[in-house]
Copies of this chain bind each other. A is one copy, B any other.
Amino acid sequence: MTGPIYLALVHHPVRGRGGDEITTSVTNLDVHDIARTARTYGIVRYYVVTPITAQRDLVNHILGYWRVGKGGERVPERTEALSIVEDVDSIEAAIAAITAREGRAPRVVTTAAKERAAATSFDALRAELAASDGPWLLMFGTGYGLADRVLDRADVHLAPVRPGGYNHLAVRSAVAIIIDRLLGDG
């Protein structure tokens, strides 16, 4: 059955290169690529999470071009993908928005490139999603990943895509692989 699944790309709080807590910048490509992946796999909403007002304005500027501007005339399927994007100022705001839409709070899944104790395997979470009526929120960190205080609070923490060895996927690529493993036909 698979209940409604939401996605959040978090720009704060995330880890910097040195492990300190930082706020990263929104990038145009993260908005586009992840919206296209999310739409392809039936994700309900894609929240771009940043506390910086000017960055949320940037997201809305991008969305405006495609939703009401000239982009949609040229590439209508891009408009369709971007229709599920929404900016919010915090993870709490994303959870509150989902709770308001669905009538109950989502189960929160966090992801990370590094190994962490008590991680859930892809097969186990895929089975859980398939058997659940949701809602779920899949969270991805920009920079060097979600802050520890976010990971500590998750209902489910997903195993890394590529344990051991070189593992420096772009967040756009990691989102694509993870969503496909959890929801794909492959």
Contacts and interface: CB of A to CB of B under 8 A. Distances in A.
A165 B41 CA distance: 10
A170 B32 contact: yes
A93 interface: no
Given A122-B186, A163-B185, A169 B77 contact: no
Contact of A40 (B77, B162, B180, B184): B162
B39 A172 contact: no
Given A122-B186, A186-B122, A36 B180 contact: no
A81 B41 CA distance: 28
A40 B168 CA distance: 7
A46 to B, nearest CB: 13
Contacts of A36: 168-170, 173
A161 interface: yes
A67 interface: no
Contacts of A166: 39-40, 77, 80-81
Interface of A: 29, 32-33, 36-37, 39-41, 77-78, 80-81, 122, 161-163, 165-170, 172-177, 180-181, 184-186
Which 3 residue pairs spanning A and B have beta carbons closest together?
Answer: A173-B176, A33-B170, A176-B176
